[in-house]
Structure 1
C-alpha cells in the first residue's frame, strides 16, 4: 500500500542482512543501499570483501573505508588499478550541517597528508605503513589480504598488521618491499596462515622465511616465491622440515637447486600442486618428487634445460594421481617422457605442451591411447606433431572439451576431422597460424560438435566463408575470433549472425572482404554483443557501424583502428548510442572535441601522433 513501508516494518535487521549476502552483483547491492538509511547501514554490515585501486591518498581512503564497512574479512589493494576520480573529489568540505565524521575525514587528511614537497606528493600516491596500520585497526578479524605492488609498505606496517590481525589466513605481497622482520612477525602472530604469495618481494631473505616457516608450519598449505634473489635452499629446507601440510608450491628462482626441492618433496608428502621455473634443477629433483609426492595432481615445468626424460619417467612411475601437466620450453624432453606420463598417469585431464621441440606424433599417440579422461589439450609451437597424434586423440579421448593449437605446421584437416567426429563434446577450439587447416576441418567441427561455444581461428588463411556457414548452422557460438582469415567475408559472418544469436564477443580484424552487410546482420540478430574488434577492416563504413550499434545496446568495447571507411561521425555514433560503452580504440584524429568531452574517459588511442 502506498505510504506504508511493509518491508522495514516486518523484517528484522538479521533477515535483511542475510538477503544482502545472497546478492552477488555489486551494482545491485549499491542500488539497494540507496533505498533508505537503514538499508545503507545494513548493506554496509553485510559487506565482507573490499577491492581498492590506486588513489591519490590511499592511507586516507583505507581509513574512510574501514570506518564504513566494519565486517570486512577480505581486502584486495592493487595499486596497478586506477580509479576515475581522485580522492579530493570524494571528500568535500563540510557544510554547516555536516556530521562530525566529515570533519574527522578532513582532519585525518590534514594530519597525515600535509606534505607539500615533491617527495611527499609522490609518497602520498602509494599505500604506506600508516595505511596498513589503519587497515589493521579497522579490521582486526581480517582473514585474507592482497597487497599488489604497494611499494611503500615495509616491515613496520606488516608487523603492525600481523600483531592485530591474528586470524589472517591468506597473504599476498606481490611486488611489496617488505623485509625479514615483517615475515618473522607474521610467523609469530598469524598461526592460522594457509596461503602466502611472495612474488617479486626483493627484500625477503632466508632469515625471515625460516622464522615464518617455524611459526606457521602447521597451517601453511600454499607458498609462492618468485624473483626473490635472497631466498635459497635454506628456505626450502625449512619448509620441508616444518610445513608438513603444504599442498601447493610455486617456485621461480635461479638460486634454488636440487637440495631445496628434494627437502620439500620428502617433508611435504601431501603436495598436490607444484610449479617450477628453476633453471638449476635436474632430473634428481623430479625423481624425488616422483618417489615422495604420490598425491601430486598438478605439475608445471617451465624453461627446464637441465633435465631429460629420466625425470619425467619418475613422475609417470610415481604420481599416479596426476591430472594436470604443463611442459613449457623443456628442450630435452622427447616422446619417451610423454609416453611415460601417458602410461603411468591415466587420470590426466589437462595437458599443455609448449615449445618442446623434441616431442612429436608418437608421444601424443600415447596420450590418446591411455588418457581416456583428457578434457583439455594445448599444443603450442609443436612442429613435430602431425595428424597421427590428433587422430589417436580423437579416437580415444571422447571427453575432450577444449583444444588449443598454435603454430603446429604439420597438423591439417585430417586431424581436425578426426577430432570433430570423435570429440563431440568439444566446447572450445582455438587455432592460430596452423596453415594446413582449412574449410574441410572446420566444416567437420560445425557438423559434429554441436556444443561448441568458443571458436578462435586466427591467421589460418585456408579458412573461408564455407567453414563459417557450417559453424553457423551447427553451433551456437558465444565467442568468435577469425582475425586474419582473409578469405572470410560477408557471407560467412551473415551465417554466424543468423545462427548464433548468443554471440557476445567478435574479432574480425584484418578482414579485407568484410563490409557493411555483415555489420547490419550482426546488429539485427546478435543483440548480446559486448566486445567487437573490427580494426583494419577497410570496407566497413559509418553506415554499417550505425546499424550494428543501433541494436547492440550492451556493447562495452569497440576496437576500430585503421578502418578507412569509419570517420569521426561513426565514432560519435558509437559513444552516443552505446550507454554501456567502456572502451573505444580509435585514431586520435577521428575524435572531435565534442566526442572527447562526451566520452573522453572511454576513448583510447593506438597511435597518438597520427
Structure 2
C-alpha cells in the first residue's frame, strides 16, 4: 500500500544469468530476489567476509567496540582473538587458573602487559612460566607491580621467550640474577627499561657482557642505579641512554664509556642525577650525539656545556633546565652553543638566565632552529622576543611560559618567523587575549594557544601523533582560567617538566604507541 507499480516491479526484477546459474546448481536460492544493484535479498553477506578482512576491520575499532563485536557470534570471537597482537592483563594471583583459556583464545599475542595493583597480590613464578610457554613469540613485555616474581621465574621465562625485543619492568623485586638471565637468553633484546626497581642490592656482574643488539636503556627512580654501570658499559651498540632520578656517581661510568672508539650513542637524557662537569666533558667525546637533555643537574655548569658544544657537532636537540641555580645556560654556555652547533633544530631553556646577547647569537647563527621553548626565564622580555621573531627564519613552533613579556612581544610574531605554524603562551601575566586578533589578522593559518584559550584553523592539523615510548597516555597540565588570576609566585612555582612531552610530540609530528 502506498507503493507505485514501478517500485513493486523493481523489487521483483531478477537477472537472467543469476536465475539460470541458480537453477543449474539445483539450489533453492534461485528463488532469492535480486535487486537492480545486484544485492540478493536474504543473503548473508557478512558470513562471506574472509577472516583476514574481518581481522583488519577489528584492528581499526576501539577497544570497547572490539569487545562488543567479539560476542556477536562464535566465528567473530575466534577471529578477534587470533588477530589481537597486544594484550593487557590484571596480573593478580587469581590469573593462574585461567591462563590456558586466555591464551588459547589469544594465541597470536606478541605484546603483553602485566599490571598488578599495589594492594593486591601479584602473579608468581608459576604464572609467568605458564604464560611464557604459550607466548614463545613474544616480542614486548611490560611488568608493573609484579612483586611476587623472583629471579627463578624470570630466568625460566627468558629461556622460553628468546625473541623478546623490548623488556620493561617497574616496581618489581627480582634481583640481578633474573636481570642477567633476560640479557643472556634474549639475544634480540633491543630496549631495556627499569623503573622504581627495589630488588637490585648489588652491582650487575662486571663479567657479564650485554647483548650486542641492546640499543636503548632507561633507568628511572632507582635508589642504587649506579649498580647497573657494568650493563651500560657493556652495551657496545647502545644508542639511547636515559637516566632519571637515580642515585650514584655517574661521572665514572661516562668516563669509562668515553674511551670507546666510534661511540654510537646518539641520545642522552639525564634528570636529577649526580653529574659534574667531568661527566659532561666525557659526554662531549661522544661525537655522534644528537640529543642531550640536562634536567636539574645542579653540579653541571657552563664549562661542561662548552665542552659539549665544541665537540658534539651533530647536536640537533638540546634541553637545559637550570633549576634556578644560575650555573648553566648563561651567557658563555649559550654563546658557544650558537657558535658550534649549527645543526641545532630544537632548543628548550628552562629556569636559566641567558643574556640578550646570547639569545641574539642563538637567533642569528642557529639557522636551522625549528622548535624553541623558553620557560621561567626572568631575563626574557619584549626586546628578546622581538629579536627571535625577526631572526629565527626557520622557526616553526615556539612555546613561551612564565616569562615577563607583554602583548607587544607576542605581536612581533605577526611579522617575523615566516614559517611559524604554532605558538603557545602560558603563564605570562602581562599577555592578554587581545593579541590573538592581531596575530590572526596577518596569519590566518597560525595555531595560537594561550592558557585556557586555543584557536586552531581547520586547515592546520595539530601534530599530536603517537609518542615513541610508546603507548602510554600523555600527561596533561591544568591551565589557569585567566592570565592574571595567579600571583607572580605561582608563575615561578609552576613545574615545567611537562614541556618535554610537548616537544616530543612536536619533533615526532615534524619528522613524520609501544607497549
Query: TM-score with structure 1 length normalisation?
Result: 0.61
1:561 aligns with 2:481: yes
Match of 1:390 in 2: 305
1:514 aligns with 2:499: no
Unaligned runs of 5+ in 2: 1-36, 40-44, 463-477, 486-515
Which whole-Å CA distance do the structure 1 matches of 2:351 and 2:52 have between them? 45
1:406 aligns with 2:321: yes
Taking a change above 3 Å as real, the CA distance of residues 354 and 559 of structure 1, as seen in their structure-2 partners, is closer
The match for 1:257 among 175, 186, 202 is 175
**Does the CA contact (< 8 Å) of 2:138 and 2:163 recur in 1?**
yes
Which whole-Å CA distance do the structure 2 matches of 1:502 and 1:252 have between them? 42
SS in structure 1 of the partner of residue 242 of structure 2: strand
Equivalent positions of 1:127-166 (< 5 A) are 133-134=71-72, 137-138=75-76, 140-142=78-80, 165-166=81-82
1:169 aligns with 2:107: no
> What per-residue deviation string (whole Å, max 9, x for no partner) do you get for residues 232-281 of structure 1?
33431122221122111001133211221122122112211100121221
Query: C-alpha displacement at 1:517, in angstroms?
Result: 6.7
Which whole-Å CA distance do the structure 1 matches of 2:305 and 2:245 have between them? 21
1:272 aligns with 2:190: yes
The match for 2:110 among 194, 201, 226 is 194
Query: Higher relative contact order at CA 8 Å, sep ≥6: structure 1 or structure 2?
Result: 2
Taking a change above 3 Å as real, the CA distance of residues 515 and 77 of structure 1, as seen in their structure-2 partners, is closer
1:339 aligns with 2:255: yes
Taking a change above 3 Å as real, the CA distance of residues 198 and 513 of structure 1, as seen in their structure-2 partners, is same
Which whole-Å CA distance do the structure 2 matches of 1:531 and 1:205 have between them? 51
Match of 1:485 in 2: 403
Match of 1:602 in 2: none
**Does the CA contact (< 8 Å) of 1:427 and 1:452 recur in 2?**
yes
Count of residue pairs brought into register by the alignment: 418
Query: C-alpha displacement at 1:455, in angstroms?
Result: 1.1
**Does the CA contact (< 8 Å) of 2:55 and 2:83 recur in 1?**
no
Query: C-alpha displacement at 1:325, in angstroms?
Result: 0.4
Which whole-Å CA distance do the structure 2 matches of 1:414 and 1:332 have between them? 29
Match of 1:379 in 2: 294
Query: C-alpha displacement at 1:191, in angstroms?
Result: 5.2
Which whole-Å CA distance do the structure 2 matches of 1:561 and 1:134 have between them? 46
**Does the CA contact (< 8 Å) of 2:92 and 2:123 recur in 1?**
no
Equivalent positions of 1:55-454 (< 5 A) are 71-74=56-59, 77=62, 133-134=71-72, 137-138=75-76, 140-142=78-80, 165-166=81-82, 168-173=84-89, 179-187=95-103, 192-200=108-116, 204-217=123-136, 219-277=137-195, 278-285=197-204, 287=206, 291-308=209-226, 311-316=228-233, 318-344=234-260, 346-356=263-273, 358-369=274-285, 371-408=286-323, 409=325, 410-411=327-328, 412-434=330-352, 436-454=353-371
User: 358-367 or 475-484: which moved more?
Assistant: 475-484
Equivalent positions of 1:457-468 (< 5 A) are 457-468=374-385
Which whole-Å CA distance do the structure 2 matches of 1:207 and 1:134 have between them? 34
Taking a change above 3 Å as real, the CA distance of residues 564 and 271 of structure 1, as seen in their structure-2 partners, is closer
SS in structure 1 of the partner of residue 426 of structure 2: coil
Match of 2:449 in 1: 532
Query: C-alpha displacement at 1:533, in angstroms?
Result: 1.4
Query: C-alpha displacement at 1:352, in angstroms?
Result: 0.7
Which whole-Å CA distance do the structure 1 matches of 2:107 and 2:314 have between them? 43
Which whole-Å CA distance do the structure 2 matches of 1:214 and 1:323 have between them? 32
Query: TM-score with structure 2 length normalisation?
Result: 0.71
**Does the CA contact (< 8 Å) of 1:280 and 1:306 recur in 2?**
no
Taking a change above 3 Å as real, the CA distance of residues 534 and 77 of structure 1, as seen in their structure-2 partners, is closer
Which whole-Å CA distance do the structure 1 matches of 2:461 and 2:94 have between them? 39
Which whole-Å CA distance do the structure 2 matches of 1:438 and 1:131 have between them? 61
Taking a change above 3 Å as real, the CA distance of residues 182 and 351 of structure 1, as seen in their structure-2 partners, is farther
Taking a change above 3 Å as real, the CA distance of residues 302 and 451 of structure 1, as seen in their structure-2 partners, is same
Match of 1:571 in 2: none
Query: C-alpha displacement at 1:225, in angstroms?
Result: 0.6
> What per-residue deviation string (whole Å, max 9, x for no partner) do you get for residues 365-405 of structure 1?
11112x11111111111001111222122112122111112
Equivalent positions of 1:13-32 (< 5 A) are none
Unaligned runs of 5+ in 1: 1-35, 50-68, 80-86, 88-126, 143-164, 536-544, 566-610
> What per-residue deviation string (whole Å, max 9, x for no partner) do you get for residues 276-327 of structure 1?
1212214533647x5142321001111222343x6424522x2110000011
Root-mean-square deviation over aligned CA pairs: 3.7
Q: Which has the higher helix share?
A: 1
User: 342-351 or 513-522: which moved more?
Assistant: 513-522
**Does the CA contact (< 8 Å) of 1:190 and 1:216 recur in 2?**
no
The match for 2:417 among 489, 500, 505 is 500
Query: C-alpha displacement at 1:531, in angstroms?
Result: 4.6
Taking a change above 3 Å as real, the CA distance of residues 402 and 440 of structure 1, as seen in their structure-2 partners, is same
Which whole-Å CA distance do the structure 1 matches of 2:345 and 2:318 have between them? 9
